[in-house]
Amino acid sequence: DQQVKQNSPSLSVQEGRISILNCDYTNSMFDYFLWYKKYPAEGPTFLISISSIKDKNEDGRFTVFLNKSAKHLSLHIVPSQPGDSAVYFCAARQKSSGDKLTFGTGTRLAVRP
């Protein structure tokens, strides 16, 4: 049962343009959503999060949008840079069932110079 889904395994974007990574979830009890970034041979690193009571959170070039009615969130990166090329994982937490995170399968972003 895949509660967090990232339906696009890969995305290619021109440097300077916007990257939009999407994530869908099925569990309405999730209270926090997070994005992690992973480079090869490294562990995932936290990027940005959003509470289920918010619909937008911004941190520099990164903005996460949450649409609870659609059970959908997206990560916007503007402007995209070659150093952003990595695998991005969407994750969600259901506080009432512990603090573990449930991850999507990831989207590989390639930013072309």
Partner 1 sequence: DSGVTQTPKHLITATGQRVTLRCSPRSGDLSVYWYQQSLDQGLQFLIQYYNGEERAKGNILERFSAQQFPDLHSELNLSSLELGDSALYFCASSDLAGGHTGELFFGEGSRLTVL
**Where do contacts with partner 1 occur on this chain (CB under 8 A)?**
4, 6, 9, 31-32, 34, 36, 41-46, 49, 51, 89, 91, 93, 95, 97-106
Nearer to partner 1, 33 or 77 (CB): 33
CB of 113 to partner 1, least distance (A): 26
Nearer to partner 1, 73 or 91 (CB): 91
Nearer to partner 1, 17 or 95 (CB): 95
Helix (H) or strand (E) holding 76: strand 72-77
Nearer to partner 1, 13 or 44 (CB): 44
CB of 52 to partner 1, least distance (A): 11
Cα–Cα distances (Å) from 36 to 31, 49, 51, in that order, read 17, 9, 15
DSSP 18-58: -EEEEEEE--TT--EEEEEEE-TTS--EEEEEEETT-SEEE
> Hey, what are 34's tokens?
């997070």
CB of 43 to partner 1, least distance (A): 4
Task: Determine the residue type at 98.
Answer: G
